[in-house]
Chain A
Amino acid sequence: MKSDKAFGSKLTRRSALTTMVSAAGLAGASTVMPNIARMAHAQGSAPIKLGFQVHRTGIGSAYGRWYERVAVAAIDRINSMGGINGREVEMIAEDDGTDPRRGAEVLERFANLHNCDAVFGPLFSHVVIGSAPRAGELRMPYFVVSEGHHVASGILNRYTLQPGITDVKSQVISMAPFIHDNLGQKITMIFPDFAFGHDHRDFFTAAIEAQGGEVLEWIAIPPTETSFTRYFPNIPRDTDVVYHVMVGPAVLTFVREMGEFFGGQGPQLFGFIDSLEAVDTASPGLEFLEGSYFWEGMPRFAQPDQTPEETAYRTAVGVDDNGASVDDPRDVSTYAHMFGVWETLAIIKQGMEAAGYQGPDDRPSLIEAVEAITEIPLSDDHPQGAKLFNGRTHQVFGHQNISQVVDGRMNRVHQTSIEDTLYEDEVDYTEQSF
């Protein structure tokens, strides 16, 4: 906790440019002096360069903005604690335009132009899937923050890891016990008719059946649909729970029309916060969300039992108790996902230190060091909570949260165990050579 003063300082784009300058600016805080001295001692060595593949433009830019804010805060914190192996960490951001081909080009720039030691940051699945093969060819450790199942499914490679955020498969299957025990056993699923929705359909159907529940109806909505009322009569009358995962610009329309259809008398509603990430749940027109349940990777609203570690994280990234920017209460963050950037950087630091990382020749050792990580306790490095890393599948597992909307706030009503989120390995990347 000795860097708490660093958390209090305002972290901005400028600090990303000048990590050393900002670390020096903290020298007045006597508690960080030893770290500054340690880093100065290692001055002869060049900084560790981390490439940040960021969705600056394109459809991912709203997420990218928050991912960048968290990355800047996390790297400032790491540097204020003495960097990695006594070396300053320098972040080099490259915009991938939320475009897979552009993502692959960006990886080449990180490897060949910037001589980065590792790359982190992408969220959108198609960018990860498009870029990961290039990371493998370039032998570039590629730490994705995507929550896609693509890493653990085995379609990527040994250089691609997801140690900072759980994947959608474990998120979905871990919802089944709570839904079955508390909300009902007869489910109707409403999802957009493409890969994202199909993943939810397949993972959740299997999981709820394993609990003894059943899915009465799958309602697949064409992605271009912007009016939904005509689909609601297809919801069977004896449905206990509507499980919905709509995304896109029509998501608020969906919520409103569903609310109008049921008039508050219908089945329980369960959704994924992905639908409403960065949207104020207290917005007029969203009254119909009242009482409904959402998965959250990390609860947007500060909970009564919030850990000191999460409090420190909120302060560091400049987010208030409602999950919005401390500078603008309307600027709601992508709170459920962005902790993944913070935790990924902590894992990179841990892996590099365990591997005694010196330079690009040690990249395989870095991968092996991260693969060797298993239990990850709750800490300032991992404010979302304790986790379990699976070195074979390169995927981390952790607690998931279910929150209920009450008076426009989301209150956590359940936290899953890590065991609830586990599934059988689908790949062993450690068998692949470097």
Chain B
Amino acid sequence: MSEQAFVLLLPTDYYILGGVLSVIASIVLISLTPKRFVERMFAPKDLGITAPPEWLKTVTSTLSFLCLMALIVMGAIGPRDPLTNILPLMIWTGWWIVLFSVIGVVGNLWLYLNPWTGPYRLIFGADRPPPAKLPSWLGAWPGLVIFLAFAAFYIVDPAPEDPDRLAVLVASYWFFTFACMAIFGGPAWIAQGEAFSVLFGLIARASPFGDWSRAAVGFPGWGLWSRPPAVGLGVFALAILGVGSFDGLKETFWWMAQIDVNPLEFPGRTAVIGSSIIGLLLATVALVAVFAVVIWMGGVIANPDRPDAARSRFLFLFRTFAPTVLPIALGYHISHFFITFLINGQYLLAAIGDALATGANFLGLGDTRITTGFLNTTDSVRSIWLTQAGFVVAGHILAVLAAHHAALEVFGTRRRAVLSQIPLGIFMVAYTFFGLWLLAAPRGA
């Protein structure tokens, strides 16, 4: 609450204007840049290293599995305080906030850290034909449904941090996933049904190292264009952004006014379950719909009288451009959770130093009192706000550049690419404004 009071004293109108102008400037700049220069910019350099052996993944994944099981046990029998118990801290701060962000910077660590592929290989081997086949037309839709259910849990559920409830849910999801892998085959379920493998694979594409399907480094987002995904994956990419946006929106005075809740007397999550679920789904569907219209308009503007242009068919364009919102989703994620990270990261370090809650203090951090003093002064709050805004703006600029690069590849000439990007550019500028407004708006929950 207190940092919000300081934020409202900051000249955020000017900061927002600055952020929006930066995005507009980057659109203009990239539009004026010659095609070959853009292509060179987005061409990754091969790192020239051979891929690590497969058994390494099996080892790290199995270790990750063992750690997860230990965390689940600690969640069930450890302290009841969600800021002392290591399970909720590891899941929500260590995994959802930190690992998500790290993957967006260094690439798809989840290939090594997921807790399933190692045990799967140890039990079933590498080439076992699965008992049932997951229809390929399903694409990543099963993963998307699971992701939305997860989003509902962390955004809507009254107590997602409750240690023993979380232990049950994490254990259940592990067994559910492993069972699906046993039925449909590990690789198939990981690619189509395991929500976080799909999610992190997408987010990793925004990183300078791509999703690690190729050992290369380049301008952040070079991996967004390389393989246009299936429609389901494209919708998934938009859903990541939609969910992240609603998570911010639902705390604002504006949203509380829509659901008739007094923001100064927030009645608690149990009182807003229905409206939050509806809002979450509406926000996601609305984003996908608006984005689809924007992409359709871009295709129409760029391709007057070009019936031959099979490549410009709407679905192809949608699949091509949907991943370009991933840098925005990443920027929002880091920005949205930045303060939670600064506070709960302290609790996490203390919990890691005393992982078994025995009073141990391995890292010497248990004696450090948690502080939120950085939320109590104008200067530190300004620094934090500008950092958050920086992530939002950087995400939008990367998205603009990646979308322009994709447009050059799809539409062939710079002129047509620029025309095609007019609706998307307007959308990006509007979304930048929205993202920065979310940071500056008064919040009540």
Contacts and interface: CB of A to CB of B under 8 A. Distances in A.
Contacts of B361: 14
Nearest to A246: B264
Secondary structure at chain B's binding surface: helix, strand, loop or mixed? loop
B263 A327 contact: no
Interface in B338-378: 350, 354, 357-359, 361, 366-374, 376-378
A21 B361 CA distance: 13
8 contacts: A15-B359, A17-B357, A57-B82, A95-B81, A95-B159, A126-B267, A248-B264, A249-B1
Interface in B409-445: 442-445
A195 B264 CA distance: 10
A328 B376 CA distance: 11
A300 B267 CA distance: 29
A126 B265 contact: yes
A325 B371 contact: yes
A286 to B, nearest CB: 9
B278 interface: no
B266 interface: yes
A272 to B, nearest CB: 14
Secondary structure at chain A's binding surface: helix, strand, loop or mixed? mixed
A92 interface: yes
Interface string A235-275: 00000000000011111110010000000000000000000
A95 B367 contact: no
Contacts of B45: none
A114 B380 CA distance: 41
Interface in B312-359: 350, 354, 357-359
A196 to B, nearest CB: 7
Report the 10 A-B pairs with minimum CB-CB distance, sorted nearest first. Answer: A99-B268, A330-B373, A331-B373, A249-B4, A18-B359, A328-B373, A101-B270, A328-B371, A93-B81, A252-B5
A300 to B, nearest CB: 13
Contacts of A248: 1, 263-264, 442, 444
Contacts of A8: none
B284 to A, nearest CB: 24
A284 interface: yes
A376 B359 CA distance: 36
Contact of A69 (B79, B369, B378): B369
Given A17-B357, A93-B81, A226-B253, A249 B8 contact: yes
B257 interface: yes
Interface residues of B, number: 54
A336 to B, nearest CB: 14
Contacts of B7: 249
A84 interface: no
A73 to B, nearest CB: 11
B262 interface: yes
B161 interface: yes
A101 B158 contact: yes
Interface string B159-182: 101100000000000000000000
B378 A283 contact: yes
Interface in A86-119: 92-95, 97-102, 109, 114
B444 A249 contact: yes
A67 to B, nearest CB: 12
Interface stretch (A36-44, A58-66, A156-164): A58-66
A285 B5 CA distance: 11
Given A126-B265, A250-B442, A284-B378, 11 more contacts: A68-B81, A97-B159, A99-B158, A101-B158, A195-B265, A223-B264, A224-B263, A249-B7, A253-B8, A280-B376, A283-B6
Given A97-B159, A327-B371, A328-B373, A278 B359 contact: no
